[in-house]
A and B are shown apart, each in its own frame.
Chain A
């Protein structure tokens, strides 16, 4: 199917924010990106993302969707 990603493709902004910057194993390195530092990324992203609501959503504030994280 056409939608399945091919590995030669560049990583999209979406996957960078959703996977590379947000997930992955976390260990205490000598330098790590803290939760506070993630805000710095959003400051840099501000040129791309305009509204306050959007920023809140990116920061992970609760939003209503079709499905919520099971608890």
Chain B
């Protein structure tokens, strides 16, 4: 059997509510750190089999859900360092060696994460809706509209083209301004922030475009204010086609800064 690592915490984790998620979920203690692990089969998780299974997305989806749920369960009662999916050890000794190597690192991270939560904001934009909202209120566009209506068909055609071009520019400018403003207002209620890469529609399973993907580390006492800001932003920008998908609390996937960790891609 192999040992699959979910998370590390600094107090004895309560596993009762999540022990049905997987076989043999337990923790390994080392110097005041508790690693939440489960025994997994070589036939699923050794190098060769893992590589094979990674190409099966339904397998990945099922295992990744277990990974997330196990960590969320532990997180209810303790501060956690969540590990990346598929961190596996051959023996308990090897796991303890790793804990020993990162002892200070883990303790510092856990201390920094104490009483804080990760929240995510994925901002989407219905470009057509934004376009029409701007088209109806932007003075310059309205002026051109008037001009088009009072022009001969030839001139109107050219003006229309010019208007479309201008509208695209204004739409982009506004979208930038709106997302910048949203990010900044939420940042004021956060301790750390991170901007991640935008994901395509196949993954978001939405019709509108993702225009901002950000993570925020929020003090527990500030969470109420943070959520209120997202509601306020929805009121402010919802009519313009923006949709604020705010989720949390997440395990702090985006805010574990191990000193040996390679910089991650944004």
A-side contacts of B88, CB under 8 Å = 29-32
Contacts of B199 in A (CB 8 A): 14, 17-18, 57-58
| Residues from chain B with Cβ under 8 Å of A4 in the complex | 227, 246-248
Flag whether B198 is at the interface (Cβ < 8 A).
yes
Given A18-B213, A24-B85, A33 and B231 contact (CB-CB distance below 8 Å): no
CB distance from A39 to the nearest CB of B (A): 9
B123 partner residues in chain A, CB cutoff 8 A: 66
Query: Quick check: B198 and A40 within 8 Å, CB to CB?
Result: no
Interface of B is mostly: mixed
Closest to B211 in A: A66
- Of all chain B residues, the one with the shortest Cβ separation from A7 is B72
When the two chains form the complex, which single residue of B57, B102, B180, B196 contacts A27, counting CB atoms closer than 8 Å? B102
Chain A residues with Cβ under 8 A from B211's Cβ?
65-67
Closest Cβ neighbor of B197 among chain A residues: A60
Docked Cα-Cα span, A26 to B224, in Å, equals: 31
Binary per-residue interface labels of chain B (94-108) against chain A in the complex, 1 for a CB within 8 Å, 0 otherwise: 100010001000000
Closest to B61 in A: A16
Identify the interface centre among A33, A43, A50: most chain B CB within 10 Å of its CB. A33
Q: Label chain A's interface by main secondary structure.
A: loop
B22 interface hit (Cβ, 8 Å): no
CB of B20 closer than 8 Å to a CB of A:
no
**Do the beta carbons of B85 and A21 come within 8 Å of each other?**
yes
Inter-chain contact B84/A54, CB cutoff 8 Å = no
**B interface residues with partner A (beta carbon < 8 Å):** 2, 5, 8, 45-47, 50-51, 54-57, 59-61, 64-65, 67-69, 72, 81-90, 94, 98, 102, 109, 120, 122-123, 125, 175-176, 179-180, 183, 195-200, 202-205, 210-213, 227, 230-231, 234, 244-248, 250-251, 253-254, 256, 258, 260-262, 264-266
Q: List 15 A-B contacts (CB under 8 A).
A: A3-B230, A3-B234, A10-B65, A12-B205, A16-B60, A17-B199, A18-B203, A23-B264, A25-B81, A25-B83, A29-B5, A53-B200, A58-B199, A58-B203, A67-B179
